[in-house]
Amino acid sequence: MIIPLLKVTNLSKSYDNIVGCKNISMSLYPGEVLGIVGESGSGKTTLINCLSGNLEPDRGKIIFNINNKKTDFLNISESEKRKFIRTDLAFVHQNPRDGLRLNVSAGGNIGEKLMSVGYRHYGNIRSLATKWINKVEIDKSRIDDLPITFSGGMLQRLQIAKNLITSPNVIFMDEPTGGLDVSVQARVLDLIRSLVNELNLTVIIVSHDLAVIRLLADKMIVMKNGTVIESGLSDQVLEDPQQEYTQLLVSSVLHV
Ligand SMILES: Nc1ncnc2c1ncn2[C@@H]1O[C@H](COP(=O)(O)OP(=O)(O)O)[C@@H](O)[C@H]1O
Ligand SMILES: [Mg+2]
């Protein structure tokens, strides 16, 4: 029997009396990509922030099971949690400025990340950084340049490199192509898709764009007012949505 890498039970988070997300239960298996969709304000960011440790939920359980080691995410010490987030999780923000330090060179951004998980040898850091800069299709001559000089697409590719270089076990992405020009979106999406396939990544990705979900996600959940109203294999949900709300989401994409 395969054990879920992540098992979430009855997770809830409110902001005073505004519901962020409510009674969310789900499982994620190694190598799966889960898409989270729903209109603005439906709770996608609240959920992904709770799962990634950016936000403390009010109730519920989050259990990670990585290499036969169980982590009860909401019941470990702060220092254990910080270490777990650093070594096992990654978060690709919609705005690369939230995931990068713009006044530190591209290679420096990546190097810092490696040092945070224990790398010390300059030569190793430099060569791994070069390899990843290359892997995300940034010209390696740009390694010592400041990210401020990068285009939006390059910034997002650098953020992706910084996040993946430590081989995290679960990668969270909140609208990773949402802030990019349409022409650039497709290329970044393509890069994410090839990395997911090549590295067999386990990913939770939020997008309001069903085309992104169709391309990347094996399974998906549909959120409305903080709750999951429909879930299943992406192909099935997108081809044959059961809930009226999902039907509206899907048809508005088809008619764009
Ligand atoms: N920091 C906050 N303070 C108060 N309300 C918030 C905060 N963040 C989100 N909310 C509310 O929680 C609900 C879910 O928001 P969010 O998780 O950001 O949804 P989504 O990412 O799907 O747009 C919305 O009603 C939103 O207004
Ligand atoms: Mg959001």
Residue 75 lies in a domain: yes
Which residues are paired to 70 by β-bridges? Answer: 65
Q: What is the mean pLDDT of the chain?
A: 95
Residue 1 lies in a domain: no
Instruction: Tell me what pLDDT residue 28 has.
Output: 98
Residue 220 lies in a domain: yes
Given the structure tokens 């190793």, which residue do they identify? 124
Burial 164-181 (b: 16+ CB within 10 A, else e): bbbebbbbbbbbbbbbbe
Kindly state the percentage of the chain with pLDDT values over 70.
Answer: 98
Q: Which ligand 1 atom lies nearest to the CA of residue 20?
A: 12
Instruction: Tell me what pLDDT residue 1 has.
Output: 76
- Residue 10: name the closest of 232, 250, 228, 248 by CA: 228
Residue 158 lies in a domain: yes
Range of the domain at 110: 6-254
Q: Which ligand 1 atom lies nearest to the CA of residue 40?
A: 23
| The token pair that represents 217 in the structure block | 């996600």
Domain count, the chain: 1
Residue 136 lies in a domain: yes
pLDDT over threshold 90, residue 116: yes
The domain that contains 228 carries what CATH number?
3.40.50.300
Q: Average pLDDT, stretch 186-210?
A: 96
Q: Average pLDDT, stretch 119-140?
A: 96
pLDDT over threshold 60, residue 255: no
Given the structure tokens 């919609």, which residue do they identify? 94
Instruction: Tell me what pLDDT residue 164 has.
Output: 98
Residue of 12, 39, 45 with the most ligand 1 atoms within 8 Å of its CB, for mutation: 45
pLDDT over threshold 90, residue 14: yes
CA 205 to the chain's CA centroid: 5
Which residues are paired to 170 by β-bridges? Answer: 89
Q: Which ligand 1 atom lies nearest to the CA of residue 39?
A: 22
Q: What is the pLDDT of residues 37-70, one digit of tens each?
A: 999 999 999 999 999 999 999 999 999 999 999 9
Q: What is the pLDDT of residues 167-182, one digit of tens each?
A: 999 999 999 999 999 9
Rg (alpha carbons) of the chain, rounded to whole number: 18
Q: How far is the CA of 92 from the centre of ligand 2 (A)?
A: 13
Residue of 18, 50, 224 with the most ligand 1 atoms within 8 Å of its CB, for mutation: 18
Residue of 13, 14, 15, 17 with the most ligand 1 atoms within 8 Å of its CB, for mutation: 15
Q: Average pLDDT, stretch 94-104?
A: 95
Residue 164 lies in a domain: yes
Measured from the CB, is residue 57 less than 6 Å from ligand 1? no
Instruction: Tell me what pLDDT residue 253 has.
Output: 57
Helices (H), the chain: 44-52, 78-88, 106-116, 122-135, 152-164, 182-199, 210-216, 234-239, 244-254
DSSP 175-201: STTTTS-HHHHHHHHHHHHHHHHHHT-
Measured from the CB, is residue 94 less than 6 Å from ligand 1? no
How far apart CA 47 and CA 38 sit, in angstroms, is 12
Q: Which amino acid is at 116?
A: S
